[in-house]
Structure 1
C-alpha cells in the first residue's frame, strides 16, 4: 500500500517526514484548484532548493501566452503558434523567521513534519515543529484552500504556537517574486513531446494603487491577455505588526504561550482576461470581492467552502467497501476531476487540469470522451458549461475548416486553448478529425440526459450542424466500394497508426454525428424553424446527410471475422513485443514515428473504444473476438487506454481482466504508473475510473430515454454505491456481489431496466 494511503484515512492522503523526493512527487497530487485557479502542492518557503520542488506553479485556466512554432520545413496549414498556460505570481510563498533565523527544512531541527490533503473538505494542511540554532522552537500549521464560492480566491491561514513567551517571529509575504524558471528541468534535458517546459517568465507586471493589500496588473508578452491579482494579509491580533513596503508585507510579533497567533492571507486572481483598457474594471471587481471576503473573515469563507464540498460529495461520491486503497483512489480521482473543470463557458478542462504544465494546458478530446460523462451524470450544469466553451470557439473551428479546404462546416482544433489549432505535429494532431464527432457525441448525450431543449435548439444545433457539414466535404462516395461513403487520410485515437483510410472509430463516430444532426434538424423543423433558417439547413442538405450516414463505410475482414481498425492495419507486420525491452516503453520516446506506423501496434484503445461506446450495435461474439485481438497489440502507452479495456472486459464477462485494469487506472497518479505524474495528473484517466465503476462494473447505459444496467460487483468488494442524475431524477445504485438495490432520491417516478427486466422506482 502506498505510504500516502497507509498514513491517511478513507478521506485523506497524508505525507509524513521531510524526504525531498517524496515532497517533489506529491507536489502534483496535493494541488488545489477550482476550475479557475490552481496551485500546485509545493512547500511555502520562497527560498527552498530545487530538491523540494519540480514546479511550484500557480495557474489560471485559459490564461496563456503564445509564441511562433518553429518548423525546419513548413507547409501550408500547419499550426502557427504555441499556446501555453503560463505560471503567474505564486501567492502561497512566504518566508518564516525565528529570532532572525530563516526557516527551511535543511536548517535547524524539524520534527513532526506532515502534510494532509483532505479530499472531503478540499483543504491542504501542513504541520511541523522547528527549533533554530538557539534552541528556540515554534509549532507551525499552514492551511490552504481555493474557494468555490469566490472562484478568484486562494486562502491561507498560518498559525504559530510556542511554549515560550516573547520569541520574535517574522513572516514575509511577497506577491510578485516568481522564481527563475530556468532552474527547472529544461525542455532540452527532457525530449518528451508531451510537455513543454518554460524557461522564462512570460508576463510583465506593474503595481496598481489600492488602500490596503497589494495589487498588480500582469500582461502576457504575446497573447495580449491581462489580469489583476490582489493580495491581502490580515491579522486579528493586536501584537502583530503589519508593515507594507512596495509589494512586500512583513508580519512581526512576539509569541504568547497562552494563545496561538493567527495570520490569514487572501489572494484574488481576476476571473476574466481582457484588454488593457478593462484593467480598471477588473481591479474594482477584485476590490469588491476582497472587501466581502475580509468582512466575512477566513472562518466564514472556509465554512461556505466546506458546505460547497459537502454538496459535491453528496451527489458525486462513490462508496466502496472492502479495499481502503481503492476507496481513497476513487475519491482522489473524483476530487481532481471536480477541481479541473472550467465553469464559466469560456474555459474547459486541460489534460492535466490545473495541476501542472504538461501538454501546455491544452484542451483535447479527453474532455468530451473521458471526463464529460462524470459531469453529465453528477453535475449537469458544469457539463453544459464545458459544451458552451466548445460553442464559443465555433468561429475558430469554421476558420480551421477553411484552412483545410472545407468550404462548409467546422473543424475543431485537436489541441487548443483559444480555439485555434496548436498541435505542431499534424499526423497526431489535425488528422484526428474524430474530435468533431467526439464533441457532437457529448452534445447529443447532454441533450438526452438533461432534456435541455433550449440548449439543444440553439448552441447544440449549431455544433451538430457544423460538424455534420464537415464530414460531407471531407469524405466522398467511393465507386470502387459500391458507392460507400469513405473518410481518407485520418488518424484515429490510436496515435501509433497515423494518416490512414477509414479508421473504424472515426467512421463510426462520423456516422453517429450525422444521425444526431439529422435527428435534431428534423425536430427543429417543428420546434425551432427559425434556427434552421438561420443555419441555412435545407431539405437537400438533410438528404445528403442521410445518404452519407446510411453508406458510411465501416471496415471489416470477413475472413478473419474481425473489425478492421482501418483499411491497412491487418496488412502490417505485428510489432515484435517479445523482443522490445521494458525500458523502451512508451514507444513514442524510443522509436521514429514511421517505424511505429508501419507496424500493427496500438498506443491505446481505438476500435475497442468505438465498440464500447455503441455496445448495443454489435454481437457479443464479435466484441469478444475484437477485444482479444486488439488487446494483444495494444501497449497502453496512453493513460486513456486501460480504463476502456477494463470497461469492455466488464461488459463481455472478462471480470478478472476488468478488475486488473481498474486497479491500474484508479491508482495511476498516486502510484505514478505512467512515470510522469510530476507534470500533472492524468485527468482523462480519472474520468475513466468513474466510467469504470458506473459504465463498467454497473454496466449503466442511457439509450432512447431509458436507463439500462447490467451490474456486476467484483467479489473482492463488500459493496459499491454511487448516484447518478438523469432527466431531473437523482438515483442511488447499491451493488454487492450477490444483490442490487436502486433508490429514487429526487424527482418523479421512473422505470429503469436491469438485465432486461423493468424496475419501477
Structure 2
C-alpha cells in the first residue's frame, strides 16, 4: 500500500511526519479548487521556510498576464502573445507565536504532525503539537476547504490548545500580495517546454477601503483583467488584544491550560471583470460576501460544503471491491477532475487544473477528449458550461482561420486561455487542426447523451457548422488518389510525428465532424426549428454547403497499407525507420527533452496514442482483427511520454479482449500522480489522465459505447476485483451498473424506463 493511502479509510490521503521532501511532493496532491480558483496544498507558514514548498500558488481560472512571444525568426501567422496564468494574493498565510517564538517546522520541536485530505468531504486537515525552545507547548489543528456554494471563498479555521497557563499566544492572518515573488522557484532555470518561468510578480495591487475587511484590487501588468480579493477573520476570544496593519491582522491572548482559542478565516477571490469602472460594484459584492459568511459562521458554511460533496459523490463515485489502494486512488482522480472544471461558460479546464502552473494554465484538446466524458455522464450541466466556453471563443477561432488563409469557418486555438493561439511551436500547435473535430465530437456526444436540443440548435449547431466549414475549405481533392479528399500538412495527437499528410486520426475525426454538421443542419431545416433557423441565418448558411460537406466526408482519404494490413498513421509513417528503443537509455525519456524534434520526427516513434485513439473512439467501424493488428503494431513503438497515452491503450486492450494488459495500463493511470509516475506532478496534476481513468472504468471495463442514441455495454471484470460499480446520467435517467464475476446488473435509480444494449441484446431497465 502506498504510504499516502490511509489504512483506515478508502476516502483519505494521509501524510505523517515533517519530511521536507514528502511535504513538497504532496503540495500538488493536497491542492483544493472549485473551478473558479484553486490553492495548492502548501503549509500556512511556508514564507518562513520556503524549502518546504515548490510553489504555494493560488490561481484564479483564466486570470492571466500576457507578453509578446519573442522569436529568433518570425513568420506570418505565428502566435503573437504568451498567456500565462499568474499567482494571486496568498490567503493561506497564518503565523503562530508563543512567548515571542514563531512557529515553523525548523524551530523548537514539532511532533505528531499529520495532514489528511478527506476526499469525501473535500477538506484538508493538519494537526500537530509544537514545543518551542522554552519548553512551552500547544496542540494545533487547521482545517481548509474551498467552497462550492460560494465559489469565491477559501475557508480556514485554526484551533490552538495551550499546554500551560500564562504564555502569550499571538495569531496573525495576512493577505500576502506577493511583493516578494517566491511562488515559482520550482520553475526557475527550467528548459522543459511544459513550464514557463515567472521571475517576478505579474500584477499590480491597490488596497481598498472597507470598515471591517481587507480588500485589494489587482490587475495583471499586460491584460485588462481585474480582480477583487478580500479577507476577514473572527477570533473566538473576545478579550484578545487586536491590531490591524494594512493586510495583516494580529491577536494576542494570555493562554489558559487546555482552553482552546480558534480563528476563523475567509478569503474571497472575486470574479474577473474587464471594465475598471466596475471596481466599486465588484468591491461591494466581495465586501458583502465576507460580511455574510462571517455572520453565518464557519460551521454553517462548512455544512453546506459537505452537503454539496455528498451530492457530487452520489452521482460520481466508482466502487471497486478487491483493492483498497486502487479504490482510494480512483476517488482521488475523480476528486481532482471535479475540482478542475470551469462552471461559468467563460472558463474551461487547464491541463493541470488549478493545482499548478504547468502549461501556463492553458486549455487544450484534453478537455473535450479526456475530461468531458466524465462530466457528460455524471454532471451534464457542467459539461454544457465547458462547451459554452468553446462557443464563447468562436470569434477568435474565426479570426484564426482567416490568419490561416481559410476564408470560411473557424479554427480553434491549440492552446489558449482567451481564445487566441498561444502555442509558439506551430508543428505541435496550430498544425493540430484535429482540435476542431475534437470539440465537434464532444458537442455531438453531449447532445446524444442529454437530448439537449436547445443547446444543439444554438451554440452546438454554430460550432458544428464552423468547424465543418474549416475542414471542407482546408482540404482538397487529390486526383493522384482517385479524387480522394485529403488534409495535408497536419499533426495528429502524436506530437512525435509532425507536419504530415493525411494523419489517420485527423481525417477520420474530420469526416465525422462533417457528418455531425450535416445531421444537425438537416435537423434544423426539417424541423423548421426557430433557434436553428436563426443560427443558419446568422452564419449565412447556404444549402450548397451540405452537398460540399457530404462529398468531402464520403471521399475522405483514410490511409491503409494493404500489404501489411495495417492502418497507416499518415502517408509517410511506414517509410520511416523504427526508433532504436533497445539502445535508448531510460534517462533519455521523455524523448522531447533529450532529442532534437527533427531527430524524433524522422522515426517511427509515438509519444502517445494516435491511430489507436481513433479506432477506440469509433470502434464499431473496425473489425476486431484490424484493431488487434494495429494495436500490437503501435503499442510496440509508443513511449507513453504523454500522460494521455496509457488510458487509451488500456481501453483498447479491453476492447480487443486482453484484460490483463488493460488492467496493467489502468493501474498506471489510476495512481499516476500519487506515485509521480511522469516525474512532474510538482507542476500540477494530470487532469486528462484522471479523465482517462474514469473512461478506463466506464468505457474500458464497463464497455460503454453510444450508438444512435442508445447505450451499449459489454462489461468485463478484471480477475483482481470482486465487484465494480458506477453510476451514469443519460437523458435524464440515473443508471447504476454493477459488474460481478457471475454477471452484470443494471439498476434504474431515477427517471423513465431505459432501453440499453447488453452484449448485443436489448434490455429495458425500469
Show CA shifts across 1:470-492 (max 9, x none).
00111001111111100000000
**Which residue does 2:623 correspond to in 1?**
619
- Deviation string for 1:251-305 (max 9, x for gaps)? 2112233531111000011113322211111101112211221121110000000
- 1:722 equivalent to 2:726? Answer yes
Query: 2:77 maps to what in 1?
Result: 77
Q: Distance in 1 between matches of 2:47 and 2:545?
A: 64
1:649 is matched with: 653
CA contact (8 A) 1:555 1:563 kept: yes
- Corresponding position of 2:707: 703
2:552 maps to 548
For structure 1, which segment, 650-659 or 158-167, has the greater mean C-alpha deviation from structure 2 after superposition? Answer: 158-167
TM-score, with structure 1 as normaliser: 0.99
Deviation digits for residues 554-604 of structure 1, max 9, x if unmatched?
000000000000000000000000000000000000000000000000000
Q: In the aligned structure 2, how far is the partner of 1:367 from the partner of 1:718? A: 32
**Who is 1:416 aligned against?**
416
The residue number in structure 2 matching 1:426 is: 426
Which residue number in structure 2 is paired with residue 466 of structure 1?
466
User: Does the 8 Å CA contact 2:496/2:600 hold for their aligned counterparts?
Assistant: yes
- Determine if the alignment matches structure 1 residue 94 to structure 2 residue 94: yes
Separation of aligned partners in 2, 1:89 and 1:97? 23
Q: Cα offset for 1:738?
A: 2.3
Structure 2 counterpart of 1:599, from 584, 600, 603: 603
The secondary structure found in structure 1 opposite 2:440 is: helix
| Conserved 8 A contact 2:316-2:726 | yes
Q: How does 1:484-523 map to 2 (within 5 A)?
A: 484-523=484-523
Contact 1:8 / 1:14 at 8 angstroms: preserved in 2? Answer: no
Q: 1:760 aligned to 2:739? A: no
**Aligned CA distance change for structure 1 residues 530 and 247 (closer, same or farther; 3 Å):** closer
Question: How far did residue 185 of structure 1 move?
Answer: 3.5
CA distance in 2, matches of 1:8, 1:224: 49
CA contact (8 A) 2:722 2:740 kept: yes
Structure 2 counterpart of 1:265 = 265
Return the alpha-carbon distance in structure 1 between the equivalents of residues 186 and 39 of structure 2: 21
Equivalent of 1:751, from 749, 755, 761? 755
Equivalent-residue separation in structure 2 for 1:176 and 1:20 (angstroms): 23
- Pick one of 579, 583, 586 that aligns with 1:582: 586
Structural RMSD (CA) = 1.1
CA distance in 2, matches of 1:408, 1:40: 43
- 2:648 aligned with 1:629: no
User: 1:488 is paired with a residue of what secondary structure?
Assistant: coil
CA drift of 1:179 comes to 6.3
- Residue number in structure 2 paired with 1:197: 197
Query: What residue is the counterpart of 2:26 in the other structure?
Result: 26
**Is 1:162 the equivalent of 2:166?**
no
Moved more, 423-432 or 38-47: 38-47
1:528-543 matches, within 5 Å, as 528-543=532-547
The aligned counterpart of 2:227 is: 227
TM superposition shift of 1:236? 3.4
3-state secondary structure, aligned to 1:602: coil
Aligned to 2:340: 340
Once the two structures are TM-superposed, the CA of residue 188 in structure 1 deviates from its matched residue by 5.5
Contact 1:208 1:216 in 2 (8 A): yes
Structure 2 gap segments, 5+ residues each: none
Map of 1:320-339 to 2, 5 A cutoff? 320-339=320-339
Distance 2:102 2:190 in 1: 34
Check conservation: 1:21, 1:51, Cα contact below 8 A.
no
Residues 123 and 280 (structure 1), Cα distance of their counterparts in 2 relative to 1, 3 Å cut: same
Alignment of 1:25-44 (within 5 A): 25-44=25-44
Count of aligned positions:
761
Contact residue 232 and residue 265 of structure 1 kept, 8 A: yes
Report if aligned partners of 1:50, 1:183 keep a CA contact under 8 Å in 2: no
For the pair 1:286 / 2:286, whether they are aligned, the reply is: yes
Instruction: Give secondary structure in 1 for the equivalent of 2:56.
Output: coil
The aligned counterpart of 2:681 is: 677
Give the structure 2 partner of residue 394 of structure 1.
394
2:742 corresponds to 1:738: yes
Kept in 2: contact 1:65–1:221 (CA 8 A): yes
- C-alpha displacement at 1:702, in angstroms? 1.4
The aligned runs of 1:298-313 (5 Å cut-off) are 298-313=298-313
Against the structure 1 CA distance between its residues 8 and 588, is the aligned structure 2 distance closer, same or farther, given a 3 Å change threshold? farther
Structure 1 stretch displaced more, 84-93 or 230-239 = 230-239
**Structure 2 match to 1:572:** 576
Q: Mark the CA change 1:143 to 1:445 in structure 2 (over 3 Å): closer, same or farther.
A: same
Q: Tell me the distance in 2 between the aligned counterparts of 1:679 and 1:400.
A: 30
Q: Note if 1:689 corresponds to 2:681.
A: no
Distance 1:671 1:427 in 2: 32
Shift of 1:171: 1.3
Aligned residues of 1:501 and 1:567 also touching (Cα < 8 A): yes
> 1:381 maps to what in 2?
381
Q: Is the 8 A contact 2:234 2:265 kept in 1?
A: yes
Question: Could you say if the C-alpha distance between residues 212 and 188 of structure 1 is closer, same or farther in structure 2, counting changes exceeding 3 Å?
Answer: closer
Q: What is the DSSP-based 3-state SS (H/G/I as helix, E as strand, rest coil) of the residue aligned with 2:62?
A: coil
How far apart are 1:241 and its partner, in Å? 3.1
Distance 1:179 1:330 in 2: 39
Q: Which runs of 5+ in 1 are unaligned?
A: none
Q: Deviations over 1:449-499 (max 9, x none)?
A: 111111100000110000000001110011111111000000000000000
Q: Distance in 1 between the 2:676 and 2:110 partners? A: 28
Contact 1:158 1:263 in 2 (8 A): yes
Task: Check conservation: 1:409, 1:469, Cα contact below 8 A.
Answer: yes
Structure 1 CA distance for aligned equivalents of residues 477 and 189 of structure 2 = 49
Cα distance in 2 for residues equivalent to 1:251 and 1:188: 37
3-state SS in 1 of match to 2:198: coil
Partner of 1:360 in structure 2? 360
For the residues of structure 2 that align with 1:20 and 1:68, how far apart are their CA atoms? Answer: 37
* Structure 2 CA distance for partners of 1:95 and 1:628, relative to 1, 3 Å: same
Q: State whether residues 63 and 273 of structure 1, in contact with CA within 8 Å, keep that contact through their aligned partners in structure 2.
A: no
CA distance in 2, matches of 1:414, 1:530: 29
Following superposition, the deviation at residue 247 of structure 1 comes to 1.6
User: Match for residue 136 of structure 1?
Assistant: 136
1:248 maps to what in 2?
Answer: 248
Counterpart of 1:113? 113
- 8 Å CA contact retained: 1:230, 1:268: yes
